[in-house]
Structure 1
Amino acid sequence: MSGGLTARRRLGGARGLSIALALTALAPGGVAAALGPTPRAPATVGYAARAPGAAAGSAAIATEPCAAGTLLVTRVPFVIDMTRCDPRSILLKGPSGLGVMVPPDGSSVEASVLGGRGMQSLVVDVDLTEKRVTVSGDEPGGPWDALPTTLDDPTGGRAHAPLPPPPAPSAASSRERSAAAPISPCRDAAYRSDGAPLPSKGRRRPVLKWWYYPGWGPVAYLNARQRKRAFLRGTRIAVRGQNNCRLGRVSIRQVYKGSTWRPPGVLRSGACGRADGRNVRGWMRFRPGETMLGLTCKWFRRGKMVEGDIALNASGARWATSKKRCRADAYDAVGVAAHETLHHLGLAHVKGARHRKLTMFPAIDTCEFHWRTLGLGDFLGLKRLYGRR
């Protein structure tokens, strides 16, 4: 859930059909118009125009007062002046509908989503000292673009995703096939991080303490035992940095605290709600028609993680835990849980179709199980944040 996303389904026997992106309709003047308004709908205010004199491409600045209800930001990056508009405790939504409840205590929050949204992530950074809120995130668009990923280099600099050698001169069709071919996961060093890792005390290894939320009602194709084991296995894969590249392990320890009936801080509308001090992950029944596979919500303060909650879609997706028994319309619950846990640990999505063998690629097909082992880039991202043992 760090975060354009596409979950590709098999539909009518065809693979690679993108789930439709949920887009927000905007009325003239920048005020968001709700589709099919219902009685007593919350008031909404939309911001779209750049501040007078602002350079093209710079962050816009809110010049309208906040209103009770939902605040819609129609472009990112965006800066809200808290002396004119204090959005704390208000549901803030980005250009494609991905939303977060702005924490009232001044914490910052990030939503990372897999499937069914036009944005990969939405970050709301609250700065009480400067009295401003900065809204950022990945703009709407699919993950199948050819743009290179900008990476955090382990040496502290910036680098671009390594690409395989160019194809030898031959027919145009041969060159096209080579350009579209994915990089081997053990050769692909691409990764991105959001810079907010788990906190650690002194030289001790960081510890991920988490609770499991079983949810209520059925989950397509999975029984209660399989649902729980999917999170246990997916979390273990991520914290160990499990891989087939002979890269060793990552220096993270996890503590499973058991089951809880307190749900993750996620709203049924598919937005991040309020933090409660617990790292909870489990199954949520989202509103009808919600096609996301998973959502990760992270709260952080002064660059350190405060809480991370994960929700997999129990009502709008079908799941599998075994490749042999995978049905044509099901997704690997273990792999998706591992992907969302990597978001919790501080990794963000990598862009570009050539990186689709990495666990942090923002799309997965039905009955694909390669997310259960991390690629080189996934491991390097964890190594930079936590070290290796």
Structure 2
Amino acid sequence: MEGLVVTYDGTGLEIPEADTAVSIDMLAEDGTEHGFTLIVTSDGKVSYDLSESNSQSPTAGEDRADVVSPRLTAGDLTEESDAPVSEPPAPDGLEVAEMDAAGSPGECQDGAYSTLDRKEYGIYNWYLGDGAYPAGMTRIQALEYFESSIGRITASINSCGLTDQVPAKSHYAGTTTYEADISAHGTCTARDGKSTWDAGNLAAGAVASTCAWTWPNPVGKNDLREADVRFNTADFDFTRNPTSTCNGRYHDVLNTGTHEAGHIFGLGHVGSGHSNLTMYTKADRCEVRKRTLGKGDVMGLRSIY
């Protein structure tokens, strides 16, 4: 069965080799959640996990954890993380619809999170594709913004005074001629062995998608093997700095990238009522709230690592 494609709710997964799990997580502009996991055991048996497809599932600290529940520590609220992360220009004079944000708890009060059955036990080595990039960025600019997106997850960058207690690591391994293994139809194709970030065509409504392959782990979270990210530049415009001229047209690169990096390191979506968190399932144009983590995002990472 290896190589056959299984589809569900607008997404698809190509059946991988034995003893491998593959997942797709889609960030949709309309807030609907699309994604699922397919697992192939060592004897070739195929099973599915559709739990990721329901954005209305409970999110008040929901986790399949292999560590104790996270908690605030003495260092929290007294010191900031000093991890060096590149900071692109701050947005100026945003004209953003804030109805959802106003009806949700503030990012520093909302402890909701959900996690996936996924963890990077070592170092996430990733590559920059050599094709198009969102917002018409050059290769150097794409490296800066993608690296910063990943760094905001690994360094727990937040404005809530929560310290970095997450030992997750990443390493930029260079440019590759390989592409993200995600098709224009929203399918995770056969993995090529390189975790690649790029831009191109995706399924309609998908602002960005992450495909991740893991080794099944019966005593903890699955061990991350490869994770690819693609921005949908065929259907959406992106910007590096959504200023007052945004007018509801553009998606922010860093906002989107930080959300996708959260998926790579094991964070799932949170649904309605949690719109101030990075892992909120809806992608709003011109928003920058996902650039920095909220309390729930940090607590979710701590529960994994």
Shift of 1:140: 6.0
Question: Are 1:283 and 2:196 counterparts?
Answer: no
Of stretches 113-122 and 361-370 in structure 1, the one that deviates more from structure 2 is 113-122
Q: Indicate if the aligned counterparts of 1:197 and 1:385 stay in contact, CA closer than 8 A.
A: yes
Q: How does 1:43-82 map to 2 (within 5 A)?
A: none
Unaligned runs of 5+ in 1: 1-86, 158-176, 200-205
In structure 2, relative to structure 1, the CA distance for the partners of 1:326 and 1:283 (3 Å cut) is farther
Partner residue, 1:295:
209
Partner residue, 1:102:
15
Q: Indicate if the aligned counterparts of 1:226 and 1:321 stay in contact, CA closer than 8 A.
A: no
Shift of 1:119: 4.1
Partner residue, 1:152:
63
Shift of 1:240: 1.0
CA distance in 2, matches of 1:269, 1:99: 8
Where 1:256 maps in the other structure, the secondary structure is strand
Of stretches 305-314 and 131-140 in structure 1, the one that deviates more from structure 2 is 131-140
For residue 299 of structure 1, what is the amino acid of its counterpart? W
Where 1:257 maps in the other structure, the secondary structure is strand
Question: Are 1:234 and 2:149 counterparts?
Answer: yes
Unaligned runs of 5+ in 2: 70-98, 217-221
For residue 135 of structure 1, what is the amino acid of its counterpart? Y
Question: Are 1:265 and 2:181 counterparts?
Answer: yes
In structure 2, relative to structure 1, the CA distance for the partners of 1:198 and 1:281 (3 Å cut) is same
Shift of 1:325: 6.2
For residue 208 of structure 2, what is the amino acid of its counterpart? G
Partner residue, 1:186:
108
Shift of 1:281: 1.1
CA distance in 2, matches of 1:153, 1:297: 20
Question: Are 1:197 and 2:127 counterparts?
Answer: no
For residue 227 of structure 2, what is the amino acid of its counterpart? G
Question: Are 1:324 and 2:243 counterparts?
Answer: yes
Shift of 1:311: 0.8
Shift of 1:291: 2.9
Partner residue, 2:158:
243
Where 2:293 maps in the other structure, the secondary structure is coil
In structure 2, relative to structure 1, the CA distance for the partners of 1:103 and 1:283 (3 Å cut) is same
Where 1:187 maps in the other structure, the secondary structure is coil
Where 1:152 maps in the other structure, the secondary structure is coil
In structure 2, relative to structure 1, the CA distance for the partners of 1:254 and 1:156 (3 Å cut) is closer
* Paired-residue identity, %: 23
Shift of 1:215: 1.9
Query: Residues 162-204 of structure 1: CA distance to partner in whole angstroms, max 9, x if unpaired?
Result: xxxxxxxxxxxxxxx99x82011111111111132012xxxxx
Shift of 1:116: 6.2
Task: Select 1:351's aligned residue among 271, 275, 297.
Answer: 271
Partner residue, 2:256:
336
CA distance in 2, matches of 1:364, 1:138: 20
Where 2:136 maps in the other structure, the secondary structure is coil
Q: RMSD between aligned alpha carbons?
A: 2.8
Query: Residues 258-296 of structure 1: CA distance to partner in whole angstroms, max 9, x if unpaired?
Result: 211211111222210111222111112347xx3311110
Partner residue, 1:112:
25
Shift of 1:253: 2.2
Partner residue, 1:202:
none
Task: Select 1:362's aligned residue among 265, 269, 281.
Answer: 281
For residue 157 of structure 2, what is the amino acid of its counterpart? Q
For residue 115 of structure 2, what is the amino acid of its counterpart? S
Partner residue, 2:3:
89
Shift of 1:211: 0.6
Q: Indicate if the aligned counterparts of 1:326 and 1:367 stay in contact, CA closer than 8 A.
A: no
CA distance in 2, matches of 1:97, 1:376: 31
Task: Select 1:222's aligned residue among 120, 123, 136.
Answer: 136
CA distance in 1, matches of 2:283, 2:109: 20
For residue 163 of structure 2, what is the amino acid of its counterpart? G
For residue 63 of structure 2, what is the amino acid of its counterpart? D
Shift of 1:327: 2.1
Partner residue, 1:41:
none
For residue 333 of structure 1, what is the amino acid of its counterpart? V
Structure of higher CA gyration radius:
1
Q: How many residues align?
A: 266
CA distance in 2, matches of 1:138, 1:119: 10
Q: How does 1:167-182 map to 2 (within 5 A)?
A: 181-182=103-104
Q: Indicate if the aligned counterparts of 2:11 and 2:185 stay in contact, CA closer than 8 A.
A: no
Of stretches 247-256 and 321-330 in structure 1, the one that deviates more from structure 2 is 321-330
Q: How does 1:25-36 map to 2 (within 5 A)?
A: none
In structure 2, relative to structure 1, the CA distance for the partners of 1:253 and 1:140 (3 Å cut) is closer
CA distance in 2, matches of 1:139, 1:331: 23
In structure 2, relative to structure 1, the CA distance for the partners of 1:326 and 1:222 (3 Å cut) is farther
Where 1:347 maps in the other structure, the secondary structure is coil
